Structure 1
């Protein structure tokens, strides 16, 4: 392989062909890590502002300390690492349906892998976040069934309207979001990453399901397209007391 491009791993998964690539950005000289599923880019280390914002915005919306946090989607680890930067986080579980992604981090193939694996607050869980979301009785943590969280952060689909699997779309309905809210502690926050700008219609669904919600724009410069890029983080709060 050229030193400018290297495929670090390639595996066939139940979702399709998964690959991890590293390439040299000629303009900046930095190494860029990319994860692809079939022909779609799942993540690139070239753009991480909104993945980090997903964690910082969600945790900023909480008060107190000793937070229990669940993250749906490990990817390159930027959301998990940003969450662990908050000293208020006591435990963090990161759920991913693609076992190779977890193995890449554990093996140190990714820049943040060793950091995440070495943090005693952090644990990787191989599982289907969407199936787990439908079952508050078992929940997201196999070691602590029915555990509830102060924050649930989700970064798997491209947006509520652009999903990786058609079955995932149920989560973004009123019924799916109400079921997800059962995994939160009173006053807890659900945060969702979207590769697309804010969608007022989806914010309305979130508000109906949780009672309080808003969308936060994340704007950054895209040097590849030489223009401003606009993504979004949605935030929704569970009421302090059940109605």
Structure 2
């Protein structure tokens, strides 16, 4: 059996110290990896259903081959991994504010080891997603104004419960319209939420995009005897 607890890495960042931890849960006979910002939990390998669903639902709304996808927020990598599982995806860019998180993937400290860093279709890019979304040139300096088939965002807890001040002003009609400039015609924007679908968020997305809807993601919580949890993926389509 592995050690009960191990801090794999700890590093300062501009928004606070970030740490990668591994805990062994005896009741489940499994190791759980967690990312914390200070004492705030950002992600756990025990709960990944909605992160995976963000990619699967977003890409299911598209057709065709040669898809170029942008993911905002790397974390433990489950949204990016799910996107790369689609053969239609030929290019994936993942933007994360925190350099240590990107380094963990390159060093293989996360559960999927160096899978993302080793995939030739995938580029891990350090940057402020929200600042880039409002910039003139967009997300990649060598491709100014580049548009994506899908932009999938898993950064804040919900569009109403923000992780940090960087995203202030993004979840507005103007902020989402800024992002829309970097979406191809017919393309998709997806938002992850830690909570069940809310009509107000769907309506907000509909102010910027011609089509908007929410998908509930229901899964069993193994820490609560299988009690169901509901989170959400919000999707908007550009005409």
TM range (shorter): over 0.9
User: Whole-Å Cα distance in 1 between the matches of residues 43 and 98 of structure 2?
Assistant: 14
How many Å apart are 1:118 and its aligned residue?
A: 1.0
| Residue 198 of structure 1: aligned partner | 197
User: Whole-Å Cα distance in 2 between the matches of residues 10 and 216 of structure 1?
Assistant: 35
| Residue 125 of structure 1: aligned partner | 125
User: Whole-Å Cα distance in 2 between the matches of residues 202 and 28 of structure 1?
Assistant: 35
User: Whole-Å Cα distance in 2 between the matches of residues 209 and 122 of structure 1?
Assistant: 28
How many Å apart are 1:113 and its aligned residue?
A: 3.6
How many Å apart are 1:144 and its aligned residue?
A: 1.8
Q: What is the TM-score with the length of structure 1 in the denominator? A: 0.95
User: Whole-Å Cα distance in 1 between the matches of residues 24 and 142 of structure 2?
Assistant: 40
> Contact 1:160–1:169 (CA<8 Å) still a contact in 2?
no
User: Whole-Å Cα distance in 2 between the matches of residues 225 and 162 of structure 1?
Assistant: 24
In structure 2, list runs of 5 or more residues that go unmatched: none
| Residue 16 of structure 2: aligned partner | 16
Q: What is the TM-score with the length of structure 2 in the denominator? A: 0.97
User: Whole-Å Cα distance in 2 between the matches of residues 14 and 45 of structure 1?
Assistant: 25
Matched, 1:57 2:57: yes
Spell out the pairing of 1:86-235 with structure 2 (5 A cutoff): 86-135=86-135, 137-226=136-225, 227-235=227-235
> Contact 2:97–2:127 (CA<8 Å) still a contact in 1?
yes
> Contact 2:131–2:166 (CA<8 Å) still a contact in 1?
no
Q: Deviations over 1:94-133 (max 9, x none)?
A: 0000000000000001122411111100000000000000
In structure 1, list runs of 5 or more residues that go unmatched: none
